[in-house]
Structure 1
Amino acid sequence: MAILNGSIIGPINTPSLTAAAGVWGAEQQQQYFGNALWPGSAAARGITGNGSLRSDPLSANLQGAWPLNSSKTTSDLSGLGRNLSVSGSVGYPSISSPSSTVYTTGAGTFSNSNYFTLSSGTIDFKVANTNLTVEAWFWINTSSTQTEFIILNFYSSQSEGGFKVDVTNQRISFSAYSGFNVQSSNGSIVKGVWYHVAYTRDTSNNHALYINGTQNGTASSSSMGGGYSSNQIGFAQYGGGGQSWSEGYIQDLRVYNTVKYGGSFNINSVQSIVT
């Protein structure tokens, strides 16, 4: 699997958005978003000295958008006010580019003792028969086979699990408290490499995982388990009161109430929230 460290592709002539509502077609996936601002000023969205905000053809479907590239951007850029608080010390080092999505100030770093909590409101990810996309860039700093809760984990009590997207035994997996899970088809996640991961679910309860734009696991189930009251990034509370932290970097975490990817896509189309 190639490391994506090429230069930005574009700008390309912006195509019309003619695909079915809620799904990025080939045209949208190839579109380069340029430097157009999202609604609202950069300062209003908590971006200071970190570039401009990009446009997003699915911005109306965002349920949360967190760059995680500096302490000023733990605010939610979706406009819904779902801001993050920090537990422990989360740094933002300058790091090598994952691709053209690189930020000007690096990414949130996790060192087995710190994490983010959604402090302003919650998102109920477990509702069956609804469209959902969760995506992020991540970089693991360990060769251990321990579970790395890279993207999200949420739970209602120490006696329950949660909805989570993680790395276990070098494979990306999605799982729910009900016991349902879908795992990437091969063990390909290694230490020290940037990956883009996306999880989607549609109204027919079809679930899919994508690694660097390639569909890498599918399943179908409406069994999502109980409700969850806490949303967290880089940390997990699970059955019996156990806990687990991530080790590495996370940036550009987004949640949509639509299926953003209807199949494998060009990874160069995934531009960062900020320029």
Structure 2
Amino acid sequence: MSSGRDVVATQLCDVLLPWFPAVSWLRVHSVFQRACNIQTPQGRLWVVQARDMPLAPAGIVTDCADLRPLFTVGERLRWRDETCLYGTKASIELRSARPVSTRLDPCGEAQTLARLAAEIAAFFSYQPKKGIRLALLTDDTLIDAQASLVHWLRTGEGELDALLIRFIGRGEGLTPAGDDFLLGVSLVLNHWRFAHAAALNAALPPLLDRTTDISRAMLEQGCDSRYSALLLALATGASETWPQAIVRVATYGHSSGHDMLAGILTAAHALA
């Protein structure tokens, strides 16, 4: 049992609650300052998050500012009374955590999507191009893939698996730019109830062995209509909050937020 620091959880994704009695231990997958990914015996990824981080799907937000001293890659975390996870250097107290849903309901309106696209386009007009937006200026293969995606979004025509493979795992980092872009596309299809949402949600998961573990978990959750609090605030917020919500998404990661916004904009332009 841990004799180190007690970390108190303040929020947790409600999807985790049924899993607590179903797993006897979890393995630390990767550790960063503001996120610690832990893996269940079934291969699912949960993420322990630092304070003030927007809640992620399968996320647990804590009162800790830096998680790196508290967890070691490869160590096992075990349960105590299904309310506390403990390791060699720290324990996570879950008793007082507030369960929060990360599910996005399919209730968006078409005119709202068009206005949101205009806001994102206005934001991009004064931003330097990076990530997938930069690649879309220079990479003929990716330019063609985007055009094919737009055609599929509008008509449902084309080989979807072959199209998705051109984006999955494309780029560098824990969540490559192509995956972040597809998450933005997924958000539009699932929230605005477009006809091809089910096809995308079915096609993506079998192809995700082509990308990183963290990105695979992110896209699988998107296929289940679960998104981070950042994206939920953007999709469901009032129009007067969009400028601030767009900036918050854009500042996520090195280019991940920009890539997600680019996916939203591409899908919105194709469908709105």
TM-score (norm: length of structure 1)? 0.28
Say which one has the larger Rg.
2
Ranked by relative contact order (alpha carbons within 8 Å, sequence separation 6 or more), the top structure is: 1
Structure with bigger strand share is 1
TM-score (norm: length of structure 2)? 0.29
